[in-house]
Chains A and B, each alone.
Chain A
Amino acid sequence: MRIGLRNLILAAAAVVALAAAGAALFVHLGIYDVAATRQHTRPVFDLLEYAQRRAVSRRAGPAPDLADSRRVQAGARIYSRHCLQCHGAPGIAPDALAYGMTPEPANLVATAREWPAGEIYWVVRHGIKMTGMPAWNRHLSDEEMWDVVAFVMALPQMSPSEYATFDPQARERNAAPAEAAPQPPPMAAAPDRVTPAAIGDIEAGRRAIDGYLCATCHVIPGVVGAQRAVGPPLAGIAGRRYIAGIAVNTPENMIRWLRDPQRMDPLSAMPNLGVSEQDARDIAAYLYTLEDPE
């Protein structure tokens, strides 16, 4: 087989031109949905996440010694003033504005397990384009930014009640009086098979999961970006006997748990996210579609 080089070049040019025209049309016609109510498609999400990680790691530098507990305390004060609103804290939900953001602001309690301090500092200092993460370089001093990093580095060792010692008001805002619970709960039989659609609207629940930032902490099948191991994975939650290890898995308990976890277990790191009754029903309906993986 013999192909003329000129023809080959022409063919390649035609392909490139067509692809460019297609891309231009895709953009011009506004086909990609920029609404924050929809998560990115999975390939776009994965690409952006990877690109962000690589870009940060390429630019970040080394970190000073951050073990000083005064640094952690100073960082905690700055965190509760400037970071908590979007990122939440152990046992504390973010403010309402964070719920509407796409990408969802990361839960930071386990970030330091994977991110070196230098990279966290870089993100605090420079922010990240088109994520809502601002650059703090003009508003915080270098030392203050490192204080925040020291606090984030200490988060993986911090229980919700330890965090409360740093920020008592946040805890009060969040806390509800705990209800009496059987201690421990009775040995549960396998949960009765429930009909998800009888509990709520499955598709609305799927969307509400994005709206309440569930993906920032749990692996949830069918939810783009839900790959964090802050809390337990939710695959198979329909057949799990206990909810959060403390309540028998019934739709009623699930809805109560989703609405106010710390009312059922005051020690839980899962915060009260202000989920409405209807949203809780819909989310529960979606969760009961997640049968055992095998």
Chain B
Amino acid sequence: MPDIALRLSPQDGCASMKSFLLRLAPLALLLALAGCGRDAPPVSVAGGDPARGKALVRDFGCAACHVVPGIAGHGSNVGPPLQKMGVRAYIGGVLPNTPEDMVRWLRDPPAVDPRTAMPNLGLSDAEARDIAAFLYTLR
């Protein structure tokens, strides 16, 4: 038997695993940072406040037609679910997803696409901006 031997007791095993993991931690952190580095802050909407928007989504009953993350009650499957709305390419399948187009769509969907089933809910410009700001937090 050579002089150098590995002595493994359960405690040793645990300790060495722990130190191994501790050594891995910076690497894991680095990987996590590399992954998170891309997460830019949500698109901001001029004059829009996400917190007010969330309250408005509740008041206007958006969940009567859409599944909306963060809104109590699981929402309804009339229109498409709104998860990832902040990174979706198109609004209503027809408009590019820019803040100004989002406000335009929210204020009067049939004016954008006469065929849409989404009604004009009579939102004011300020309300539409708040709701748009909230939707851009869904990613």
**A183 touches B (CB below 8 Å):** yes
A290 to chain B, nearest CB (A): 11
A-B interface pairs (CB < 8 A), number: 127
Q: Residue of B at shortest CB range from A158?
A: B96
CB 8 Å contact bits of A235-279 with B (1 = contact, 0 = none): 110011110111000000000000000001101111000000000
Check A231 against B93 for contact (C-beta < 8 Å): yes
Residues on B with C-beta less than 8 A from A158 are 96
B77 to chain A, nearest CB (A): 5
Check A6 against B94 for contact (C-beta < 8 Å): no
Q: Residue of B at shortest CB range from A233?
A: B81
Residues on A with C-beta less than 8 A from B36 are none
Residues on B with C-beta less than 8 A from A269 are 89-90, 93-94
Partner of B92, one of A109, A157, A245: A245
Residues on A with C-beta less than 8 A from B8 are 1, 3
Check B117 against A232 for contact (C-beta < 8 Å): no
Q: Residue of A at shortest CB range from B116?
A: A245
Check B95 against A159 for contact (C-beta < 8 Å): yes
**A67 touches B (CB below 8 Å):** no
A interface with B by C-beta (< 8 Å): 1-6, 8, 54, 90, 107, 109-110, 113-114, 156-160, 162, 181, 183-185, 187-188, 217, 229-233, 235-236, 239-242, 244-246, 264-265, 267-270, 292, 294
| 29 A–B pairs (Cβ distance < 8 Å), ordered by A | A3-B6, A4-B1, A5-B4, A6-B2, A54-B34, A90-B96, A110-B87, A110-B88, A113-B89, A114-B38, A159-B94, A183-B114, A184-B119, A229-B87, A229-B89, A232-B88, A235-B81, A240-B78, A242-B78, A245-B92, A245-B113, A245-B117, A246-B113, A246-B116, A265-B93, A267-B93, A267-B112, A267-B115, A294-B74
